[in-house]
Amino acid sequence: MKDEFATLSRRDIVRLSALAGGISVAAPGWAQFGGIGKVLDAGKDVVKAETISDAELKTYFDEVAAETDRQNPIAGPKDPYGKRLATLAKGLNSHDGLTLDIKAYLVKDVNAFAMGNGTIRVFAGLMDQFTDDEIRYVIGHEIGHVKAGHSKKRMQTALRASALQKGAGATGGTVGRLASSQLGDLFNKVVVAQHSQKNENEADDYAMNFMKTKGYEPVAAATALEKLAAMEGDKKNPLQFLSTHPSPGARAKRMRAQLV
Ligand SMILES: [Zn+2]
């Protein structure tokens, strides 16, 4: 099963050019975007982030999410990964005022991400390693990043440093279709960049509360992070999740302290 998967991953996924900018992500098996820095010229068209409305931000997130989905194989409703995720995430169509779109990518990497529009993607490689409750912790953690505004802030920062917002403003707030390279640039800045330890703790605290209030097993937050800590340094497991969500060992301890 795992070998089949690796083959599918290599065959079906378009691997675009390597990531730019200081992020150590070795040989990603999933499609990421190239073109960073080529289209958007940071500093050239600086605008205030405050001028970007939530509706505009959502449109940008929608476009980036649609492009990412086009470039990665999504587990359909009949796929075992799709079925499992739909079952374990039952009742999570929305949470805490956020409409969620939770799907699995048939990619072997141990990874997951969220976008500010409620898009959450969990990778099959992560699902292979984690129990249902551990996956729920990951979902809660990703929702935490969105609810704490980390995702939105990144998008605002990326747009502020780009010419995109200027164009949107000039047409009365209507956001036009972005080129794939522009979406790629936003993706790299909004999704692939590493979160700070402070942001990680905030998302973890949110996830712990999420586990408790939803009636999931809270200890799964700690065991998921302990698994990630154990996988750290294991060359067989491509751990993109750790490159964007650092320090699993210390975070596991924080989660354990919140169990009592
Ligand atoms: Zn995180």
pLDDT, tens digit, 9 for 90 and up, residues 95-154: 999 999 999 999 988 889 999 999 999 999 999 999 999 999 999 999 999 999 988 888
Residue 64 amino acid letter: V
Contact assessment for residue 165 and residue 48, using Cβ atoms and an 8 Å cutoff: no
**Residue numbers annotated as active site:** 142
Domain assignment present for residue 14? The answer is: no
Cβ neighbours of residue 149 closer than 8 Å, sequence gap 6 or more:
none
Q: Give the Cα separation of 80 and 78 in Å (integer).
A: 6
Residue 158, beta-bridge partner list = none
User: Out of 27-36, 84-93, 246-255, which region has the weakest mean confidence (pLDDT)?
Assistant: 27-36
CA atoms of 79 and 127, how far apart (whole Å): 13
Could you tell me if 154 and 9 are in contact, meaning their C-beta atoms sit under 8 angstroms apart?
A: no
Residue 156 lies in a domain: yes
Q: Assess if residue 17 is contained within a domain.
A: no
Average pLDDT rounded to a whole number, residues 64-79: 93
Q: Which has the closest alpha carbon to 42: 187, 157, 207, 197? A: 157
Inside any domain, residue 11: no
Model pLDDT, residue 3: 37
Radius of gyration of the chain from Cα atoms?
18
Which residues form the domain of 123? Answer: 2-6+32-257
Report pLDDT for 156: 83
pTM to 2 decimals? 0.76
Q: Which residues fall inside 5 Å of ion ligand 1, going by CB?
A: 195, 200, 203, 245
- Residue 105 Cα, ligand 1 centroid: separation in angstroms? 18
